[in-house]
Amino acid sequence: MFKLIRAALWGTEVTEATEEDFDEMRLHAILGLVGPILSKVKMSPKLREKWQKTIFQQYIYNMHCFDVQSSISLTVPYVVIKGTSAAQYYPYPEFRTMGDIDIMTRREDYQAACQMLVQSGCKEITTESHKEIGRHREFIMRDISIEVHSYFSWMNDPVKAKALDEYIYNNISDTHVLPDLINGLVLIEHINQHMEEGLGLRQIIDWMMFVDKCLPDEKWEEFQKLVIDTGLERLAIVTTKMCEMYLGLPKHKWCEKADRSLCIKLMEYILKCGNFGNKRSIKDRLASGRINRSLTPISILASMQRKGLEEWRLSRIRLLKPFAWLWKSFQILKGSKPHLKDYINAKKQSKLLNSLGVKRDILGVAVYKDGKYSKQEILK
């Protein structure tokens, strides 16, 4: 798979492809990358036909997505984030797999922008939980999802969250495009946002192509200030070095001292996850969530007490209620070996996130409400 990626993006020697390559690239939402070199790749006729059909379907969807984006009727300034803003750095932007359309407005224009979409015929499908958080509202336009953000950051630290969003807000204009370095900040934060649930190679390649086009050594000092202010420096450096090691990105001096063992662990984690964690079982995600949000003895006991009260029938008895945590502890100990394995894997993930400097080591994330950023307990 790595050879196919390098051939598609950097023009290295074309290799052969197997069903396993197809399945793996599908799970990472990067099948389309092979489009420009598909005729040169050795594979069975049956696989070639399947690959061609999949790429064609994705290409049609991408074109539809581009068309919908160009049809958004807003008279207030906004910028497009992710999606086409990431695709612009690819050698063939039309083969970068698209999803929904994300836009951000200035705060004073947010409600007006949402109202304009409704008036133009869009159907709002925002969930109650997202309404409560207030981060974005979601609309459907010609079968394409459009998310309008009031803020983008999804961080633990309110100060860093505010810094990141202000970099975006200060660059919103009628061009609908962020300056390259601010766009890169959005891309590395997008990786950060999906680290816990699991991210795939699509987000990593988005970042890699930005680095190749916009972050030569002489630009690093300017960009470094942005990632220091937002707490994303270590993640940016390690991810870039990992791209050099595995995906063919040309070398950069500013990441040459990155911990190679950490790069290996990060790639192993990415390959286990798939796009937005789609390779992970629900059980894996739940175990990971428990570890990532239960980091102190007090929080672990509180979590077990809460679960015990929910699951133990005898906890309704007043005298037994204080011992719900003990009952839940026994249930965990009685669990099967796979449960223990899930716990160990989640613990490794927790350690990896800590090493990258992006772990949410205090429960909750920073949300923007009533004119300020503050911590709120949220299960994403």
Q: What is the mean pLDDT of residues 119-138?
A: 90
> Is the full-model pTM beyond 0.95?
no
Proportion of the chain above pLDDT 70, given as a percent: 87
Cα–Cα distance between 120 and 116 in angstroms, integer? 6
Q: What is the mean pLDDT of residues 190-197?
A: 88
pLDDT digits (tens, 9 = 90+) for 113-122: 999 999 999 9
Q: What integer pLDDT is reported at residue 328 of this predicted model?
A: 83
Residue 362, CB-side half-sphere exposure with 13 Å CA sphere: 9
pLDDT digits (tens, 9 = 90+) for 43-88: 999 999 999 999 999 999 999 999 999 999 899 999 999 989 999 9
Measured in whole angstroms, the distance separating CA 182 from the mean position of its chain's CA atoms is: 17
Top mean pLDDT of 131-145, 218-232, 266-280, 305-319 is at 218-232
Give the list of residues 6+ apart from residue 70 with CB closer than 8 angstroms, or none. none
More confident residue, 282 or 171: 171
pLDDT of residue 182 exceeding 80: yes
Q: What integer pLDDT is reported at residue 226 of this predicted model?
A: 97
Phi-psi region of 277 (alpha: psi -120 to 50; beta: other; left: phi over 0): left
Q: What integer pLDDT is reported at residue 79 of this predicted model?
A: 96
Is the Cβ–Cβ distance between 376 and 364 less than 8 Å? Answer: yes
Q: What is the mean pLDDT of residues 96-109?
A: 93
3-state secondary structure at position 81: strand
Give the list of residues 6+ apart from residue 351 with CB closer than 8 angstroms, or none. none
Beta strand 101-105 with 372-376 is unpaired
Q: What angle do CA 96, 101, 102 make, to 5 degrees?
A: 115
Cα–Cα distance between 340 and 326 in angstroms, integer? 18
